Amino acid sequence: MTSETRGGTAREHSFSLMYNRFIAPVRSQVRLWVSESEVDEIVSATFLTAWSRFDEIDDTTEKAWLLGVARNHCRNNARSHRRTRALVEAIEAMRPITEEEPFGDGVDPSDIVPVMTALESMDEDLQEILILAAWHELSPAEIAITLSISSNAARVRLHRARNVFVSKYRRVLSREDGQS
Amino acid sequence: MIDRDPFELLRRMNPIRHARLEAGDDALLERIVTSAVPAPTPIAPPASHPSRRIRTIVLVGGLSAVVLATAAFTFLRTGNADNPTQIDCHRTADLQSDRDVRPNIGDPVAACNAPWTNGLFGTNGPPELHACVGSDNTIEVFPGDLDVCARLGLTRQDTASNASAAQLDQLSTRLAADFRNACVGQNDALADTNQVISDVGLTGWTVKLEQPYSTSRPCTAFIIDPAAKVVTIGGRLDITS
pLDDT at A8: 56
Q: Which of A27, A62, A72 to mutate to test the interface with B (most CBs of B within 10 A)?
A: A72
Count the neighbouring beta carbons within 10 Å of the beta carbon of residue A134. Answer: 23
Using a CB–CB cutoff of 8 Å, tell me whether A44 touches chain B. yes
Is B46 close to A76, i.e. CB distance below 8 A? Answer: no
Interface with A, mutate which of B2, B4, B8, B14 (most A CBs under 10 A)? B14
Segment B164-170 shows an average pLDDT of 72
Selected residue of A21, A48, A100, A162 to mutate for chain B interface (largest B Cβ count, 10 A) = A48
Enumerate the residues of chain B whose CB falls inside 8 A of the CB of residue A28: 15-16, 19
**B23 near A CB under 8 A:** no
Give the whole-angstrom CA distance, residue B139 versus residue B44. Answer: 11
Q: Is A44 exposed, middle or buried (0-12, 13-18, 19+ CB in 10 A)?
A: middle
The whole-number pLDDT of residue A146 equals 92
Mean pLDDT across B217-234 = 76
The residue ranking higher by pLDDT, B25 or A168, is A168
A36: pLDDT strictly greater than 70: yes
Residues of chain B above pLDDT 70, percent: 66
- pLDDT for B238 equals 67
pLDDT of residue B1: 45
pLDDT band of residue B164 (cuts 50, 70, 90) is: low
Backbone angles phi, psi at A11, to 5 degrees: -65, -45
**In chain B, what residues touch A94 (CB-CB under 8 Å)?**
15-16, 18-19
Q: What is the mean pLDDT of chain B?
A: 69
A120 shares contact with chain B (CB less than 8 Å): no
Nearest neighbour of B12 by CB, restricted to A45, A106, A151: A106
B70-97: per-residue pLDDT in tens? Answer: 222 222 233 445 445 567 888 899 888 8
CB A15 within 8 A of CB A64: no
Least trusted range by pLDDT, from A12-21, B197-206, B221-230:
B221-230
Mean of pLDDT values over B221-225: 74
What residues in B contact A69, CB-CB < 8 Å? 43, 45-46
Distance CA(B51)–CA(B47), nearest Å, equals: 9
Q: A101-148: per-residue pLDDT in tens?
A: 555 556 677 788 888 889 988 988 899 999 999 999 999 999 999 998
Report which of residues B17 and A119 the model is more confident about: A119
pLDDT at B140: 87
pLDDT of residue A84: 47
Q: Could you say which of A16, A29, A169 has the minimum Cβ distance to residue B29?
A: A16
Question: Rounded distance, CA A147 to CA A67, Å?
Answer: 9
A141–B43 CB contact, under 8 Å? no
Mean pLDDT, rounded, of chain A: 79
Q: What is the DSSP letter of B230?
A: E
Is any Cβ of chain A less than 8 angstroms from the Cβ of B114? no
Average pLDDT over residues A45-54: 88
Residue B208 has pLDDT above 70, yes or no: yes
pLDDT at position A159 is 94
One-letter amino acid for residue A53 of the chain: R
Considering only CB atoms, A58 lies closest to which of B20, B49, B232, namely B49
Of the listed ranges A77-91, B90-104, B153-167, B186-200, the least confidently predicted one is A77-91
pLDDT over 90 percentage in chain B: 2
Q: Name the residue in chain B with its Cα closest to that of A53.
A: B45
Contact B15 A91 (CB under 8 A): yes
- What pLDDT, on a 0 to 100 scale, did the predictor assign at position B220? 81
B14, B26, B216 member nearest A134 (Cβ): B14
Q: Please give the full DSSP string across B133-176, using - where no structure is assigned.
A: E-TTS-EEEEES-TTHHHHTT-EEE-GGGSPPHHHHHHHHHHHH
Window 70-109 of A: residues touching B by CB (8 A cutoff) are 72-73, 75-77, 79, 91, 94-98, 100, 102-107
Q: 3-state DSSP: chain B helix, strand, coil percent, rounded to 5?
A: 35, 20, 45
- Whether the full predicted model's pTM is greater than 0.80, yes or no, is no
How sure is the predictor about A5, in pLDDT bands with cuts at 50, 70 and 90?
A: very low
Q: Is B72 on the interface with A (CB under 8 A)?
A: no
Whole-number pLDDT of residue B137: 58
Contact present, B131 and B110 (Cβ < 8 Å): no
pLDDT exceeds 60 at position B201: yes
> Pairing between strand B206-209 and B230-236?
parallel
pLDDT recorded at residue B64: 28
In SS3 terms, A2-62 reads as CHHHHCCCHHHHHHHHHHHHHHHHHHHHHHHHCCHHHHHHHHHHHHHHHHHCHHHCCCCCH
The ipTM value here is 0.82
What's the gap in Å between the CA of B222 and the closest CA on chain A? Answer: 10
For chain A, helix, strand, coil in percent to 5 are 75, 0, 25
> Measured between beta carbons, which residues in chain B are less than 8 angstroms from residue A29?
16
The tens digit of pLDDT for each residue in A90-103 reads 666 655 444 445 55
A155-173 pLDDT, tens digit per residue, is: 999 999 999 999 999 998 8
